[in-house]
């Protein structure tokens, strides 16, 4: 995650890091995320967000500490912060990925959805399979956001996500620079 974020946001000027004070313990996996986001706050998210450390608190209704949320309140991600790489809960159900995996999913989905250059397509399964054949699938479980069964693929300079939609798939591709996206969408 560190290498991806440093490369993906290399063109974003760093800011003076904010204090990483939290009212609750911060798991090691989240600490790494916070160290990077403190210098480049865009890492906290544009569409969805990981809460800054000072906003972490135990939520009695959720049964843990809410560390991330969807921008329209559709989902929240909850952890027990006492573990180094805790299980993540969404609507009371455990995620197949621990916190470190969910954070990787988060930064990659945000990269695809909020990049300066994006493309979005409704395509068939066959078209999706042809497109992703030239990409590398990220070795994490399917993400539950932006929709269930979201698969993440990468290639130099791009991140692509796809998920079932209607009779086909939604494919979203993001790039920090125009040329990698032009090369992919013209292929």
From first to last of its 187 residues, what are the pLDDT tens digits of the chain? 999 999 999 999 999 987 889 999 999 999 999 999 999 999 999 999 999 999 999 999 999 999 999 999 889 999 999 998 999 999 889 999 999 999 999 999 999 999 999 999 999 999 999 999 989 999 999 999 999 999 999 999 999 999 999 999 999 999 998 866 665 555 5
In a shared domain, residues 10 and 48: yes
- Here the tokens at position 142 are 């399917």
CA 173 – CA 159 distance, rounded (Å): 6
Residues 84 and 19 both lie in one domain? yes
Does 127 lie in the same domain as 99?
no
User: Same structural domain for residues 79 and 136?
Assistant: no
Cα separation, 174 vs 66, in Å, equals 27
Residues 102 and 120 in one domain: no
Q: What is the pTM of this model?
A: 0.93
Count of structural domains, the chain:
2
Is there a single domain that holds both residue 57 and residue 122?
A: no
Residue ranges making up the domain that contains 133 = 115-185
Residue 78's Cα: distance from chain center in Å? 15
Among the candidates 108, 130, 165, a domain finishes at 108
| Final residue before a domain boundary, out of 108, 136, 171 | 108
The reply to whether 99 and 138 lie within a common domain is no
């Amino acid at each position: 995650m560190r290498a991806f974020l440093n490369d993906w946001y290399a063109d974003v000027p760093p800011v003076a890091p904010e204090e990483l004070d939290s009212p609750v313990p911060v798991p090691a996996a989240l600490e790494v995320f916070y160290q990077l986001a403190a210098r480049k706050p865009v890492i906290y998210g544009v569409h969805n967000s990981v809460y800054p450390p000072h906003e972490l608190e135990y939520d009695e209704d959720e049964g843990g500490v809410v560390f991330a949320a969807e921008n329209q309140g559709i989902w929240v991600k909850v952890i027990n912060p006492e573990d180094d790489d805790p299980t993540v809960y969404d609507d009371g159900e455990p995620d197949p990925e621990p916190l470190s995996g969910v954070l990787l999913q988060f930064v990659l989905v945000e990269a695809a959805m909020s990049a300066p250059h994006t493309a979005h397509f409704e395509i068939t399964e066959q078209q999706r399979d042809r497109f992703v054949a030239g990409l590398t699938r990220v070795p994490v479980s399917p993400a539950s956001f932006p929709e269930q069964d979201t698969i993440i693929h990468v290639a130099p300079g791009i991140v692509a996500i796809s998920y079932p939609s209607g009779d086909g798939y939604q494919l979203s591709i993001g790039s920090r620079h125009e040329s990698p996206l032009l090369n992919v969408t013209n292929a």
